[in-house]
Amino acid sequence: MVDWLMLCLYYPGTTLGLTAFVTYIVYYFTNAVKRPLFACRNSAWRLFLEENLTVLQEKYWPTPWCIDTHLQTFFASVSRAFIRPIDYKREVLRLKDGGEVALDWLEASERRANPVAVVLPGLTGASDSVYVIGMVMSLHKMGISCAVLNSRGTGGMELKTTRTYCAANSDDLEEALDHVAVTRPGAPVMAVGISLGGLIIGHYLTTRKEAAAKKLVAAAVQSVPWNLVQGIRYIERPGLSLLFNQYLAYCLKGLVRLHRYQLEGDHLLDIKEVLESITVRQFDTRFTAKQFGFDDAEHYYQASTLYHKLDYIKVPFLCLNSGDDIFQPLEDNPFGAASKSSHVALVVTVRGGHIGFMEGLWPAKSYYSERLLTQLVVSIFSNLEAMKSIQKEADDYAKAVEVACGNA
C-alpha cells in the first residue's frame, strides 16, 4: 500500500496511464467482447444456423485498439490496403434498356454447375473494392465461384444510358441472376450483398418473392441500414458522422463527374447543381430521386427501407449488422420481425462499425464478417437437400402471412 502511494506521489503520469489502461481493459472485456445477438424464431432455418455456424457460438473480439464505430469503419479499409487485386474474368452484360453491367468472375472450378455466389458491393464500390476482394477470396478458397456485379458506371464500366443505380431498384440484379441461371444451368446460386448491395438484394427479395425463390437457394447481407430514413438522419449528426456523410457525397459526385457527358443527356438533371451537393441527402434529392421518379430524397429513403418488409421475403435470409453501425442505432434493427419469421435471421454484434468487423491485434487477414458469411455460404451449398425443407417452410410461412394480411 505504501509502495502504491509512493508511486502515485512521485510518478503521477505513470499512475494515471496505468489507471487508464486498466480501466480500458476492464471496459473492453465487459462491454465490447460479447456473443452476437441472434433473432429468428424456432424453425428449420434457425436450427440449421445453430448447427452449422459455429461463429454464432463465439464471442466477437473486436480489435482492442479500434472498437469505436468510426475507427472500425475507417481502419477496416486501411488494414486491407495491401491486399492483392484479383485477376477477374469480366463478362459484360447488356441490359434490356441498353445499359450495361459487368459480372467479374473468379471461378473455383471449371464445372459450370459449381455453386455460385453473386456478390453486390456497397454504394460506390466495385469488384476492386478491398472489402469485396476480401469476401471473394474467402469464398473462393472454400470452392465457391464468385461473380461480382458491378453496377452501371462502376468498376471501369462506361455508362451507356443516363440511368445509374439505387437502393430501391433491383432490375439489373434480376437480369444478372437470369443470365447466371441460363449460363450456369444446374448451379445453386446465392446472393451476398454489402451495405447498398444488401439493400438492392433486399428490394429484389421483397418485390420478386416467388420468382426470387426460384433463382436463389438463400441470400445473405452485411451492414444493411434497415431503416434508411433514420439511417441518413443518423449520419447527418454533427461531428465524425457528418464528415462520413460528406465523404460519401464526394464519392457519389465522383461518379457523376466521370460520366458527366452521358448524364447531361437527362433533361431532368441539373448537373451543376448535383455537383454542388455537400451531403448525401442533397445528392439524392438532386440526382437519385429525379433519376428514379421519387418526389425527393425522403421519398426515396422510404421506398428503400426494409425493416417493415421482412414478411415479403420468401428466401432463407441472414443479415449481419453491428450494434454501433454509423448508419443506424441498435434499436433500428428489426429484432421483433426477425424473431417472428421462420426464415429471416438477424445477427448483430455489439461492435463492428459499418463494413468493419475487424478482429485481432492487426486484422490483415481475419474479419468476423468474412468468417461468418463464408461459413454460412459453404454450409448452405454443402447441405442443399436440407435447404429444400427450409425453403418449403419459408414458402409456407410467407403464404400464411399473406392469408392473414388478406383477412385483416
- Supply the DSSP symbol for 135: H
CA distance 264 to 376: 44
- Supply the DSSP symbol for 60: B
**Would you tell me how many other CB atoms lie within 10 Å of the CB of residue 77?**
13
Contact between 195 and 304 under an 8 Å Cβ cutoff? The reply is no
How far is CA 233 from each of CA 157, 230, 236, 281, rounded to the nearest angstrom? 32, 5, 5, 9
Task: Name the H helices within 142-209.
Answer: 171-183, 196-208
**Which residues participate in catalysis according to the annotation?**
195, 325, 354
Give CA angle at 26 (24, 29), nearest 5°: 105
Compute and round to an integer the Cα radius of gyration of the chain.
22
Residue type, 84: R
The residue among 405, 386, 392, 230 whose CA lies nearest residue 312 is 405
Strand ranges across the sheet with 344-349: 37-39, 344-349, 317-322, 218-222, 189-194, 116-120, 145-150, 100-106, 89-94
Tell me the three state secondary structure of residue 298. helix
